[in-house]
Amino acid sequence: MARDALNRDLQRLREELAENRELDPDTRASLAVLAEDIERVLGEEHAREQSLPDQVRAAASQFEAEHPRLARILSELTDTLAKLGI
């Protein structure tokens, strides 16, 4: 069930990246790589990527003021990763 939630959150992140025209290209690319990293970890049966939740948490903090929807999605991704033990 947590994996389904994580997949939904990833889809929401992709949609926000596609719709949010205020993000600069470097930030957009950085978040796209982060989404790919999450997908990679999901594909590993016994993934324990310790830095991934920290990366997502840092990205959420970075966007809190200027892009609250994006920050909320990233925070939800962090919570779901924690539920998966990642």
Higher pLDDT, 19 or 44: 19
Q: How does 39-63 read in b/e, with b if 16+ C-beta sit within 10 Å?
A: eebeeeeeeeeeebbebbbebbebb
pLDDT of residue 50: 57
Which phi and psi (to 5°) does residue 50 adopt? -65, -35
Q: Which residue has the tokens 């594909």?
A: 43
Amino acid identity of 37? D
Whether residue 4 contacts residue 22, with contact meaning beta carbons closer than 8 Å, is answered with no
Structural domain of residue 55, as residue ranges? 2-83
Q: What is the pLDDT of residues 28-61, one digit of tens each?
A: 888 888 888 888 877 765 555 557 788 888 888 8
pLDDT of residue 48: 55
pLDDT of residue 51: 77
Indicate the number of domains in the chain: 1
Rg (CA), the chain: 12
Amino acid identity of 52? L
